[in-house]
């Protein structure tokens, strides 16, 4: 039996709250397709090692080719919206994510499967609905970090990683949520290692 070398151990599936990307000192730009929905958006699906390190830019001969995912673009515009400046359709973000992260899982997911897997995870895990069902709303209020973690753990069965950033007034706020997925991309798992989240014990959930 020949065993292929282990490329990576698991994926982080990372979603961002647009309100927290945009209300920072750096600000943001809406995509050319218009203001994204007031919902979590995909940041990326990132191959990772159990020790917390990760591979990147694994195959320059397999660079982003949007013609391979033309059937997914309308879903990407809604669920994987770019907020970086200058405004663009999203291709800059998607190509960055494929080239940096996607090429490191190409042994299990080709380009089309990679983007489709992320979109399907997003449909499967409705973070905004999970939080709102627990009374945690994007209403510029402050919530305990533990209540956010607990709401997600109760809904998906695993503890998420939570990452915060800082708004223009210096408030610590909910920015990104990390959920772990096995290295086939099909099953949620408990994270082998949680990202360093820089959250205070109470965090703002800003409107968008």
Q: Which residue number, 96 or 150, has a Cβ lying nearer to ligand 5GP?
A: 96
* Gap between the Cα atoms of 154 and 34, Å rounded: 34
Min dist CB 181 to ligand 5GP, Å, is: 12
Q: Which residue number, 27 or 202, has a Cβ lying nearer to ligand 5GP?
A: 27
Min dist CB 157 to ligand 5GP, Å, is: 21
Residues at the contact surface with ligand 5GP, assessed by CB under 6 A? 12, 16, 21, 24, 26-28, 43-44, 46, 48, 54, 82-85, 93, 96-97, 100, 195
Q: Which residue number, 3 or 6, has a Cβ lying nearer to ligand 5GP?
A: 6
Min dist CB 152 to ligand 5GP, Å, is: 18
Residues with catalytic function: 43, 97, 101
The SS3 call for residue 175 is: strand
CA distances from 177 to 2, 136, 147, 160, 165 (A): 37, 14, 14, 7, 12
Q: Which residue number, 72 or 163, has a Cβ lying nearer to ligand 5GP?
A: 163
Closest to 67 in 3D by CA, of 85, 88, 49, 94: 94
- Signed CA dihedral, 37, 43, 45, 50: sign only: negative
* Gap between the Cα atoms of 197 and 146, Å rounded: 13
Min dist CB 86 to ligand 5GP, Å, is: 9
Q: How far apart are the first and last CA of the chain?
A: 53
């Amino acid at each position: 039996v020949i065993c292929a070398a282990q490329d990576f151990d698991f994926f982080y599936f990372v979603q961002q709250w647009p309100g927290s990307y945009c209300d920072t000192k750096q600000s943001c730009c809406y995509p050319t397709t218009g203001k994204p929905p007031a919902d979590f958006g995909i940041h990326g699906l990132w191959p990772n090692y159990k020790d917390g390190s990760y591979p990147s830019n694994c195959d320059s001969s397999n660079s982003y080719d949007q013609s391979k995912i033309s059937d997914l673009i309308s879903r990407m515009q809604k669920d994987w919206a770019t907020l970086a400046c200058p405004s663009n359709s999203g291709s800059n973000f998607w190509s960055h994510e494929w080239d940096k992260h996607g090429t490191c899982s190409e042994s299990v997911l080709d380009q089309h499967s990679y983007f489709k897997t992320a979109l399907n995870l997003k449909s499967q895990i409705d973070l905004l609905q999970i939080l709102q069902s627990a009374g945690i709303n994007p209403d510029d209020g402050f919530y305990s970090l533990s209540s956010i973690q607990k709401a997600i753990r109760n809904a998906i069965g695993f503890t998420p990683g939570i990452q915060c950033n800082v708004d223009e007034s210096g408030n610590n706020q909910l920015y990104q949520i990390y959920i772990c997925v096995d290295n086939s991309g099909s099953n949620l798992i408990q994270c082998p290692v949680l990202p360093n989240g820089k959250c205070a014990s109470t965090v703002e959930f800003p409107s968008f």
